[in-house]
Amino acid sequence: MVLRLEGVKKSFRNSEELVPVLQGVSFDLEAGDTLALRGESGSGKSTLLHIAGALEAADAGRVWVSGKELTQLNDGERAQLRRTDIALIFQQFNLIPSLTVAANIAFQSALSGTPDLAHINHIVSALGLEEQMQKYPEALSGGQQQRLGLCRALMLEPELLLLDEPFSAVDPITRLGLYERFESVQKQNQVSTLLVTHDLREAKRLADYLLILDKGALVQAGIPEYVLQNPATVYVERLIESQLV
Ligand code: ADP
Ligand code: MG
């Protein structure tokens, strides 16, 4: 089990009120699986990702990453786990503008300790970035920047890959290319992935399981095809419908 959540709760203070954002979320992510997380805006997806990535603490419940329970670790051990086991990519990637693509990659691999050059070369070529190595980030298209972001995350060989709508900022054709790249890397590296997406077709294509979050509660979990054909609640039905019109 790469990631396990058990009864995770989280609230945020909104002026005087305490607003519940996650209301007892439980699920497992098995090694090598891709799990997609879909819910309307504000349903708690990013908060869940931050908690799984040990960037934020849950108010209640338990979280294990690579078999280690996060609350049992001290700050140093959690930081170490984030460096060695977890890679988290948001929509925007933190590329260093004054460094070429090659130097951005070298910088990241130096940070992570012992760089495995053969592995890095493999990821670079699987993502089709060979031609871009001497360019600066500003000279890359949106799709190339997203591939570079994926490359930097994957070359760390994370146990757990957390993706927050990583394919949403590119046009559909570019996105299709990114799916193919992602799948080819997945096939060879078996990275366990939690993918936040607002696109159910993306979930169907890339994920082994689909989780649906409604106001911080998991209302359905299952194989994407099954969920899409058997929505458990009116909300899930509405989510599916909204993507077909
Ligand atoms: P999603 O990613 O599904 O759109 P989020 O997890 O970002 O949802 O946010 C869920 C709810 O929690 C929203 O109402 C948001 O305003 C609130 N929220 C998220 N982060 C914070 C924070 N750091 N402080 C206060 N409220 C927050
Ligand atoms: Mg979000």
**Atom 13 in ligand 1: residue holding the nearest Cα:** 42
Q: Which of 21, 41, 43, 213 to mutate to test the pocket of ligand 1 (most atoms within 8 A of CB)?
A: 21
Task: State the pLDDT at residue 91.
Answer: 62
Q: How confident is the model at residue 181 (pLDDT cuts 50, 70, 90)?
A: confident
pLDDT digits (tens, 9 = 90+) for 190-218: 889 999 999 999 999 999 999 999 999 99
Instruction: Answer yes or no: is pLDDT of 116 > 80.
Output: no
The model carries a pTM of: 0.89
Pocket lining: 12 vs ligand 1, CB cutoff 6 Å: yes
Per-residue model confidence (pLDDT) at position 160:
94
42 C-beta closer than 6 A to ligand 1: yes
Query: What's residue 245's pLDDT?
Result: 60
| Tokens (6 digits) for 151 | 């490359």
Residue 45: closest CA among 21, 77, 63: 21
Query: Which ligand 1 atom sits nearest the alpha carbon of residue 49?
Result: 6
Is residue 93's pLDDT more than 70? no
Q: Does 114 score more than 60 pLDDT?
A: no
CA of 197 to the centre of ligand 2 (A): 9
Ligand 1 atom closest to 40 (CA) = 3
* φ, ψ of residue 132 in degrees (nearest 5): -100, 0
pLDDT confidence bin for 168, thresholds 50/70/90: confident
42 C-alpha to ligand 1 centroid (Å): 6
The DSSP bridge pattern shows strands 217-222 and 86-89 to be unpaired
**Cβ atoms of residues 214 and 230 within 8 Å:** no
Beta-carbon contacts of 238 under 8 Å, excluding residues fewer than 6 positions away, are: none
Query: Residues within 5 Å of ion ligand 2 by Cβ?
Result: 45-46
Judge whether residue 169 has pLDDT over 90.
no
Average pLDDT, the chain: 90
Q: How many whole angstroms separate alpha carbon 180 and alpha carbon 186?
A: 10
The Å distance, Cα 33 to ligand 2 centre, comes to 21
Q: How far apart are CA 192 and CA 139, in angstroms?
A: 31
Which of 41, 52, 22 is CA-nearest to residue 165?
A: 41
| pLDDT tens digits, one per residue of 71-86 | 999 999 999 999 889 9
**Alpha-carbon gap, residue 142 to 196, rounded angstroms:** 19
Distance, CA of 154 to CA of 236 (rounded, Å):
32
**Which of 10, 37, 46, 91 is the pocket-test mutation for ligand 1 (most atoms within 8 Å of CB)?**
46
Binning pLDDT at 50, 70 and 90, where does residue 182 land? confident
Q: Is 44 in the pocket of ligand 1 (CB under 6 A)?
A: yes
Q: Is 15 in the pocket of ligand 1 (CB under 6 A)?
A: no
Q: What is the pLDDT of residue 14?
A: 87
